[in-house]
Each structure stands twice: as C-alpha cells, then as structure tokens.
Amino acid sequence: MHCDIYKFPKHDDLYVYIARPNYPDDTEELTDWLGVLPSDFRAGLGKSEFVMHLDLAAQQKLARVDIKEVLAKLNEQGYYVQMPPNDVMVRQAELRAKAAQDKIYD
C-alpha cells in the first residue's frame, strides 16, 4: 500500500496519511488527495504541506504509530490521522488557554 503524508502548520505533530492504492498509475493527473477527509475535519486543519510518499509494504514499522493500524485505516476509510503525542497536545492546550486568557485582559 502506497500513501502520501501531509502535515499542517497550525497543528504541530499532526500528520495525515492518504491512501494511494493505484500508485504509480494515478500520478498522471492532479488530484485533491485530501478530498477523502470529512469536510468539517479538513476545514479545521488549514493549509496542508506534503511531507513524503511512502510505500508501506516496504516498511516493517513506523516511528510513532503501529503500521498495522495505519494499513487497516487506509484500507477502511482511505486515510489515517496520526495525532500528536499526549505531552504535545497538553502543551498546545495550555498555550491556547493562556492566549485566550491574555486576550481577555488586553
């Protein structure tokens, strides 16, 4: 299974894997690969940045996620969302809360 991986500058350490089951035959025309994402979720992500193309059949493991889980989600729904580690999510929430609080007192 081939996939493309995207990141989103508004969301540190969040990556979206998009299935490319017909790769390389599907490379001749431009396609909105992120179109498989639910529209409300995609709208909240902001601008995407392509990270890399990956052949998961050539991988035995991935750095932060279980490759079997990634493959299952790619086959089932066409995408997989790799969330940031919990410590990053907590820090992001703290920064957003502080910014909101600071905005109240400006």
Domains of the chain, earliest start first: 2-104 (3.10.510.20)
User: What is the pLDDT at residue 22?
Assistant: 77
Q: Which of 5-9, 17-21, 27-31 has the lowest mean pLDDT?
A: 27-31
User: What is the pLDDT at residue 81?
Assistant: 94
Q: Which is higher by pLDDT, 89 or 35?
A: 35
**Tens digits of per-residue pLDDT, 62-87?**
878 889 999 999 999 999 999 877 77
Is the Cβ–Cβ distance between 30 and 73 less than 8 Å? no
Considering all CA atoms of the chain, what is the largest pairwise distance in Å, rounded to the nearest integer? Answer: 56
User: What is the pLDDT at residue 30?
Assistant: 61
Q: What angle do CA 80, 39, 91 make, to 5 degrees?
A: 60
Q: What distances in angstroms separate CA 76 from CA 19, 50, 83, one per listed residue?
A: 10, 22, 18
Q: Among 85, 73, 66, 83, which residue's Cα sits nearest to residue 3?
A: 73
pLDDT band at 88; cut points 50, 70, 90 = low
The percentage of the chain sitting over the pLDDT mark of 90, rounded to a whole number, equals 35
Is a pLDDT exceeding 90 seen at residue 7? yes
